[in-house]
Structure 1
Amino acid sequence: MTSTAQRTDAERFGDILAVQRAAYLRDGAPSLAQRRSDLKKLKTALIAHRGAIEDAINTDFGNRSRHETAMMEVTGVVQGIDYLDRRLRRFMRPSHRHIAPYMRLGSNRVEYQPLGVVGVISPWNYPVNLSLMPVITAIAAGNRVMLKPSKLVPATNAVLASLLSQTFPTDQVTIVDGDGSAFSSLPFDHLVFTGSTAVGRSVMKAASEHLVPVTLELGGKSPAILAKGNIKDQAVSDIVFGKLLSGGQTCIAPDYALVHESDVDAFLASYDRLVKAAYPDGPTSKDYTSIVNDKEHQNLVALIEDARAHGAQIIEVGHRPGDASRRPHTLAPTVVLGVTDDMRIAHEEIFGPILPIFAYGHIDDAIDYVNARPRPLALYYFGANDTDRRKVLDQTTSGNVTINGTIMHVGQDDLPFGGVGASGMGKYHGIEGFRTLSHPKGIYTQGRFNSMRLMHAPFGKTADTVLNFLLR
């Protein structure tokens, strides 16, 4: 018999899944009141742990603004809970559907049933938000949840484990650590993964062994397109915000900027000035986030050096960029000009404070550049409500779009969030998230009279008459 110390991750995870599934089968779907109560308990615990969360994330990153953490991690989840709480009755209500004309005395409806046990694999870059947003969506849909967060943020994971264990029994919501491959191979009723496209492929492959449906929230190179002549402080400030939020370690950060060829110099000057305004102490500002660890920092340095070796112009911006070396795994805000397709930075998701700038001559050129690459998780367009804007919206495909801003579409709880193609599949947030983690069970109730009974064997003239009527 295997001892406790020798138990594999797959065995541990399997036992927890079995306990949760048995509890679901025993207790059935939770009521509206129970789901609301669970969401409110989690909200209370999250607010109570706010300080611990801010401290833990700061520890894991080396430096991260408590304001960024409160805004993007805690507030995002609290607002998501409030949204679900207010709309859950409507989401759970059965929807009545059209009945076939020859069965008029019957009725059709769809009831939204919990799936059972949902697995969640979350990343390190927003370790609270991207862990708990799928969790609260699963709870709202009436499921039980197993959460496996990234091992790169141990201090945050410890706070999450304490928060969740104080709020829920382990047969309802539990957090685990261990092998991600073993976790993604479990026979969940649904699996939500947030992370890189490369890892997403392996997660989907593992889940397919048990035909587990997956929601993949991936990433990619999200463009920011500035209309000709639109180098306004508001537009450039929003790009600074979106690019440098959490040190650029945001899956929907503007990965690169497409700027009209006549505006490149003006954009660069404005970007430098507004970076200085945002971070007056340069890369050692208390509000400027470090890269999460040395490995990720070195990956970003390698991207820059590869671009430099292939002829790109590397420009560090903001106050005293050289001070970045004074703080562990910190990278100064950097702009890259002259990027060509033989550079890694042209193809790999950057995930750091590096902004390549590409010049275009006509809006069609910008659209063609975007469409020649995998479909992005987000697209940002800055410009007037004119034919160029409409053309960008109609002729590009991305997970979501923000017009004249960056990032904030993720905070719109009533919008579905997710990617398309290489940037992901499936949606969560909004009613789409509730339905993703529910089973829409179609129910037909037969009326007292059903003309299709005339079609029972043995067949004869009556059957021919009915068929002729239906196929007229």
Structure 2
Amino acid sequence: MITVTNTDTKEIQEIFKKQKEYKKVLRTTDAKQRKAKLKRLHDIIAKYRERIHQALREDFRKAPAETDLTEIYPTQSEILHSISHLEKWMRPHSVATPITLVGTRSEIRYEPKGTTLIIGPWNYPFHLIMTPLQSAIAAGNTAVLKPSEHTPHTSHLIKEMIAEAFNPEEVAVVEGDHKVASDLLDLPFDHIFFTGSPNVGRIVMEKAAKNLVPVTLELGGKSPVIIDESADLRDAAKKIMWGKLLNCGQTCVAPDYLIIPENLVNNFIAHARTAVYEFYGNDEKNWPANRDYARIINERHFKRIRHLIEDALEKGARIAFGGHLLEEDNFISPTILTEVTEDMEIMQEEIFGPVLPVVTVKSLEEAVDKVEKREKPLALYIFARSRQAVEYLLKHTHAGGTAVNDTIMHLANPNLPFGGVGPSGHGSYHGEFGFKAFSHERAVLHQNTILSIGQAMYPPYQGISGDVIGLITKLY
């Protein structure tokens, strides 16, 4: 097992210094130049596809097809979307002129924030650092990337790829653990983009505040699934289990827990079991050998999830199916828990694993009450064929994003913003939202030099000036 070596503090400071200078060059780049850089990033990813497969396989047994689906495809798709729309995004945007500013014209210009820091997570260690990078490049910034030390093969590969595609004064990779992250966060970047846990997100925001650095925080939380009486249970079960088990449950928008009417529980479990058998085979004993099923990232997280299961069972929960664990392989099988109560630890923290607790309710009102008692989630999923039920749930809940009759898939639309609310995140990205996250919206007003209504309101305020101000005030 390879490890990540911490980048020297002096090297970090030298990279930062060079990028602070080079941002002045990038500030004047046009759409053609930026699109060429995005194309270069796209091509290097295509060139290294097989090695990306290998790195993710080494880090946590991820299947090559799942790497294509969740790491490479969405990144390439975002890059191509940016290339297609960049000229429009960069164009100054004219805005309306109020009557009090007759004779002027106003516009919004998008300028690069400057030198940016992107800190990536371990769960999708390629996609969740390269997609923010492409947004930073599209907006005309320099970028320092800090991949997760928990996925060392992917971290090393990203560094190699970036070194081949870019000069370090434009894009550089800094490797290391939390000490390196702390050194980076002490520097006065122009923007910080962080993806990770809410607890670390608070640390990032606190350190950024010392230099008044704006931040985008992509965090997480307990994303609920609500099934209505009107739902197609077979369809819902298959989509929920796919979303839950993708990347072995280590997805920030994975369905964390299920809220379902009491009378539907048994049917749901039957359909869920059928879906999991379709995914990974009918014999649960053979699941550890299935090459399509990933592993928990490391021993520490394996033990954390095992404790959540054990605590739930001690307090009265039951395993509906699954529950097989192999510590030496960091393997936890697809698992559904029933008879779950709020006092169990599994209902107190984000699970981040392939375990789905089932909570029963008697009404949609009770379902809403259970969701709204918690912090605002990164995602909320609704399964219902009743339009009335869907609208009721959308109006009475809060979430960073929502998919109706599906899970995860709202992330695949680059025309939708992706981000959380409060503890689940701050700011959003994807598509144009990513471009804006790394841009400063500069307000520009062009005044008429021949006649300006503003001059009619200059002091002294006795006479005409005071009359004009009084008239305008009455209009409003």
Q: Is the 8 A contact 1:304 1:314 kept in 2?
A: no
2:16 is paired with a residue whose SS is helix
In the alignment, residue 388 of structure 2 is paired with which amino acid? T
Q: Provide, for residues 269-314 of structure 1, a one-character-per-residue CA deviation record: whole Å limited to 9, x for no partner.
A: 1111211111014232110111111111111111111111212112
- After superposition, residues 431-450 of structure 1 pair within 5 angstroms as 431-447=432-448, 448-450=450-452
Q: Matched residues in 2 for 1:259 and 1:376: separation?
A: 18
State whether residues 115 and 439 of structure 1, in contact with CA within 8 Å, keep that contact through their aligned partners in structure 2: yes
Structure 2 distance, partners of 1:284, 1:264, is 30
| Correspondence 1:311 to 2:312 | no
Please state whether the residue corresponding to 1:355 is helix, strand or coil.
strand
Segments of structure 1 that go 5 or more residues without pairing to the other structure are 1-6
- Indicate the residue corresponding to 1:453 in structure 2: 455
Distance 2:73 2:339 in 1: 39
How much does 1:326 deviate? 8.7
Distance across 2 between alignment mates of 1:457 and 1:176? 57
| CA–CA distance in structure 2, aligned partners of residues 397 and 341 of structure 1 | 20
Which amino acid letter does the alignment assign opposite residue 162 of structure 2?
A: L
Residues 1:299 and 2:320 aligned together: no
> Are 2:60 and 1:58 equivalent residues in the alignment?
no
Question: Greater shift after overlay, 42-51 or 182-191?
Answer: 182-191
Give how far 1:27 is off: 4.8
The one-letter amino acid of 1:465's match is D
Task: Kindly indicate whether the alpha-carbon contact (under 8 Å) linking 2:219 and 2:252 is maintained by their aligned counterparts in 1.
Answer: yes
Aligned ranges 1:199-210 → 2 under 5 Å: 199-210=200-211
Alignment partner of 1:81 is 2:79: yes
SS of 2:333's partner is coil
Q: What are the residue-to-residue correspondences of 1:29-178 with 2, within 5 Å?
A: 29-61=28-60, 63-178=61-176
Q: Does the 8 A contact of 1:283 with 1:333 survive in 2?
A: no
The whole-number CA distance in structure 1 between the counterparts of 2:386 and 2:229 is 13
- 1:249 corresponds in structure 2 to 250
Kindly indicate whether residue 265 of structure 2 is the aligned counterpart of residue 264 of structure 1: yes
Q: Which amino acid aligns with 2:350?
A: E
CA deviations 1:79-138 (Å, max 9, x no partner) are 000111111111111111122313322111110000101110100000000011110011
Residue 458 of structure 1: how far off its partner (Å): 3.3
- 1:200-222 per-residue CA deviation (whole Å, 9 max, x = no partner) reads 00110011100001111000000
Which residue of structure 1 lines up, in the alignment, with residue 27 of structure 2? 28
Write out aligned runs for 1:229-248 (5 A).
229-248=230-249
The Cα of 1:325 is off from its aligned counterpart by 2.6
1:333 to 1:129, Cα distance in 2 relative to 1, 3 A: same
The TM-score, its normalising length taken from structure 2, stands at 0.94
One-letter identity of the residue aligned with 2:348: H
Q: Partner residue of 2:3?
A: none
Aligned length: 461
Query: Cα RMSD between the aligned structures?
Result: 1.5
- When normalised by structure 1's length, the TM-score is 0.95
Equivalent in the alignment of 2:469: 467
Structure 1 window deviating more from structure 2 (369-378 vs 306-315): it is 306-315
Give the deviation of 1:386 after TM superposition. Answer: 1.9
Using the TM superposition, give the Cα deviation of residue 375 of structure 1 relative to its aligned residue in structure 2, in angstroms: 0.6
Q: Which deviates more from structure 2 when the two are superposed, residues 246-255 or residues 430-439?
A: 430-439
Which residue of 2 is the match for residue 3 of structure 1? none
Provide closer, same or farther for how the CA distance between residues 189 and 202 of structure 1 changes in structure 2, counting only shifts above 3 A. same
8 Å contact kept, 1:316–1:332:
no
